[in-house]
Amino acid sequence: MPSPDLASRLLPVLRACAGARLCVAYSGGLDSTVLLHLLARLAPEAGFVLSALHVHHGLSLRADDWVKHCEAECDALGLPLRVERVVVTLDAGRGLEAAAREVRHAAFASVEADWVVLAHHADDQAETLLHRLVRGAGVAGAAGMRERDPARRLWRPLLAEPRAVLLEWAQVEGLRWIEDDSNADSRFMRNYLRHSVLPALKARQPAVERSLARAAAHFAEAEDLLCELAVLDAGVVKLGLPGSRSGLRALSPARGRNLLRYWLRERGGQAPDAARLVSGLRALRSEAPVRECFGDLALCAYRERIWTEPARLMFPAPQPWAGEAEMPWAEGGVRFLPISGAGLRLDPGSQSLLLRSRCGGERLRLAENRPTRSFKVLCQEADLPVWWRETLPLLCCGDQVLWIGGVGAAAGCSALPGEVGWRIEWRGPDGLWRG
């Protein structure tokens, strides 16, 4: 009988979850119904705490009925169910499936659990691999879904099981589940692969799902090796530090692209396509200033340094300084550190001090033996990129510029011995603090 076999295969893994909080992403369909009942049966012996989450997308006229079905099933099992109602919006260049998946995963991220348990199986893995390959995926995409995704707390314990095993188990157990009509709509690529392509392949090779799942595992191993190589290269190139650009030039183009792909992904940037990756690497290996946006992240280079920063830079409003230890500024902040006998002589009680952006025509002399320089020249000498200039913080007293973030303080305004002065530091879009 398949019933005890499927449960016995899961039990050793679940025993390692003793005391953990598991939350099943429960749609009410066959796959998640099997997973929910399996985990509910094994929870007392394995010792984990179980709950369920149903995401109400509102895309079907039957969505409210599905909620009632899920509530009834969870009540019968004595399990708490959270229903998360979401709004799916379509953006340019993104299909309905992708938009629904995004809000669904946002709901998963809000769950208070150690693992959100998903019911993906070997057939889903085969569909995912084919879907990504026909779209020209690289090694990372061809790796398909991972059984465990610790960063997002996602776990797919049934990923090695064919759907036929789940169906047989559900039938033997007499389970009830719902059928989503949209799963039969072949206008969606995944449904076309499921109903037309995979059956044709299965007629020639009955174990095609297992074969494709095995191929995805091979790709996943290759991707892990590429990530390890990227970590090694990042240590050599020292991304974000002076000299990183020359280090990147020393890598082969393939290793350079691998490093940039990994670096962007680790920082939450949008995965670049092959053409943008090639052009981005070419630009970074040159000597020209670079600022290319990948989603919400910008990849930047100026002089010999490479870094990432928010794609959208903020332009803050002027703020009076009245002695605060730290003030927010754009993507970072400005902090004021009291220091005896050094730093700027400032008195927020008697001086009208304002933190603002440049207005035009600002000049500053950094030392008594140095000439007064224009704002532009000062930024060039301080190796500050052009696109930061409009967002740099300036501390001013009336028309007098006392300090420019990343540049320094005005000469002749230093605290005298015995006085308490102020050292001012600014955290820029790259996350580094500068005087």
- CA distances to 259, 311, 312, 332 from 387, rounded to whole Å, are 25, 11, 11, 15
User: CA 129 to CA 136: how far, in whole Å?
Assistant: 11
32 marked as binding residue: yes
* CA–CA gap between residue 413 and residue 266 (Å, rounded): 43
* 286 carries a ligand binding annotation: no
Distance CA 311, CA 243 (A): 23
Question: Rounded CA gap, 351 and 113, in Å?
Answer: 53
* CA pair distance 15, 330, nearest whole angstrom: 48
Alpha-carbon distance of 160 to 147, in angstroms, equals 9
How far, rounded to the nearest angstrom, does the alpha carbon of residue 191 sit from its chain's CA centroid? 28
Which residue type does 278 have? V
Q: Are 213 and 125 in contact (CB under 8 A)?
A: yes
Give the residue from 165, 144, 137, 166 showing the smallest Cα distance to 214.
144
149, two tokens: 């995704």
Amino acid at 337: L
What are 116's two structure tokens? 């959100």
**Counting every residue, how long is the chain?**
435
Residue 106 CB neighbour total at 10 angstroms = 12
**Other beta carbons within 10 Å of 283:** 15
3-state DSSP percent of the chain in helix, strand and coil, to 5 = 45, 20, 35
Q: Which residue's entry shows tokens 């079907």? A: 60
Q: Which amino acid is at 314?
A: M
Q: Is 181 annotated as a binding residue?
A: no
244 is in an annotated binding site: no
DSSP line for 67-79 = HHHHHHHHHHHT-
CB 284 within 8 A of CB 326: no
Task: Kindly list the distances between the CA atom of residue 284 and the CA atoms of 43, 49, 244, 292, 295, in Å, as whole numbers in the listed order.
Answer: 53, 50, 10, 10, 18
30 is in an annotated binding site: yes
- Extract the annotated binding site for ATP: 27-32
- Extract the annotated binding site: 27-32
